Chain A
Amino acid sequence: MNLAHLHLLLNHVPTVGLGVGFGLFVASLVVRSEDLRRGSFVVVFVIALAAIPAYLTGNAAQFAVQDRFELSEELVAAHQDAAMLALIPMELAGLVAWTALWRFRRWHLAALLLLLVVALGLMARAATIGGEIRHPEIVAEGAAASAPAWPRAAAFGAALVIDHPWVWPICEILHFVGLCLLFGVVLLVNLRTLGVVGNVPATHVNRLLPWAMGGFGVNLVTGMLFFLASPDQYTQNPAFFWKIGLVLVGGVTLLYPTLVAEDGDGQPDARASIVARLAAVGSIAVWTGVIFLGRFLPYLGAE
């Protein structure tokens, strides 16, 4: 299996998975089930995470395939721009879903509905153009392959970094700020579970969690800008995909405190269960691993 194969596996997740998440969400509104609604939030958040490697492996697939097959560069670029455009509402939907799990407000429903509809439409568009790259048979006879030239989201992001030499260093600083926010709050939340930070209910410490999610968001945006500006530097480095894998596991661990906060962990003196303790140690280990791989990227990948 190579990364092109991985892209083929992953690229169905944001479309099919998003459809499932959207269906669950709408169903929860119709039958007014809170459990179903929370379930759909979890699905949307996980799909938003999975959409990240779906995008990243696309560049790797292009690199792997371009020497073996005749590819329309125009179509590939259009697919990439469409995918980037679709990723934006997708990630925002993931953020709203997580926030709604953390502390539900009614406006979350309207925001999520809107973002999911937009994301579904844009994902379908990206998928269609992507399919035409290697499957010309899906284009109606006599019609031209669809290669919309606008808006060029991926090209715009790359140009932003490449044309302005100050953008990369600024993004590096922000990437560290985001890292500190994420790691600091995650550490505190998990130290509470482990009893190092004692005598405080989980609900109080969990108030800080949106700052961790904010750090995650800052690092997603800045990390994406690095990737857009210099994709081959990352797609040709196995350590990068291990890092992204750990980021996704770490992202899922951010769900944990929103799901189990009421599970007896709410009491200041409650002894956390073994499972909760393992999750806490695991979460710290995963984020430490992310920092490790991020730091070792230039040394591990470059032979």
Chain B
Amino acid sequence: MGPVLAQLEQSGLATWVRESGVLYGYPLILFLHTLGLSTLVGLNTAIDLRLLGVGAGIPLASLERTFRLMWAGLALNAATGGLLFIADATRHASNPAFYVKLACVALAVVTLTRIWSRVFHGPDRGRRLAAASLACWGVALGAGRLMAYVSEFIQ
């Protein structure tokens, strides 16, 4: 794994993200990652709140189109997250917080697909799924924020 990561990190694209120093490089990617996250996690949180009983009058069918936006946010963050990862591949790959974050994001996305199939298009009321979703996103956010601190601590 090591040589592959090092190669990724040395690639032209990764070097540009890390070292170009231009505002439309690393800072823009970081902003887009935050925008994607606030769209995906923000809308998902609002849906979770609805499933837990806040604004119970909102018909679920009316919220269906927000899924497209959430998937767009996910796609944006997969792309920007990929760029941010390769820019510091070896450092991120040795960071336990990074794996916690990835696992929680994966769980949260699976939970969202289940909310779609079992609650929006099924009989489930979705209270448990909503609680699980909030928990996964919470830990994912926390682990993501702590990555910088954990990596400093390791080195």
Contact = CB atoms under 8 A, between A and B. Distances in A.
Interface of A: 169, 172-173, 176-177, 179-185, 187-188, 191-192, 196-201, 203-208, 211, 288, 291-292, 294-296, 299-300
Given A183-B42, A187-B42, A199 B31 contact: no
Contacts of A206: 55
Nearest to B144: A176
Contacts of A294: 34
A294 B30 CA distance: 11
Main secondary structure of the interface of A (DSSP, over half): helix
Nearest to B59: A200
CB-CB nearest 10 A-B residue pairs: A184-B42, A207-B55, A204-B57, A295-B31, A200-B62, A183-B38, A183-B42, A299-B27, A180-B41, A184-B46
Interface string B46-84: 100110001111110111011001000000000000000
Given A180-B141, A296-B23, 8 more contacts: A173-B145, A180-B137, A198-B65, A200-B57, A200-B58, A201-B57, A208-B49, A296-B27
Nearest to A198: B62
Contacts of B100: none
Nearest to B149: A169
B12 interface: no
Interface residues of B, number: 37
A204 B58 contact: yes
B31 to A, nearest CB: 4
A176 B42 contact: no
27 contacts: A173-B141, A173-B142, A180-B38, A180-B41, A180-B42, A183-B39, A185-B42, A187-B43, A187-B69, A188-B43, A191-B65, A196-B65, A196-B66, A196-B69, A197-B63, A198-B62, A199-B62, A203-B57, A204-B55, A207-B54, A208-B49, A211-B46, A292-B35, A295-B31, A296-B27, A296-B31, A300-B23
A288 B34 CA distance: 10
Contacts of B50: 208
A299 B146 contact: no
B59 A291 contact: no
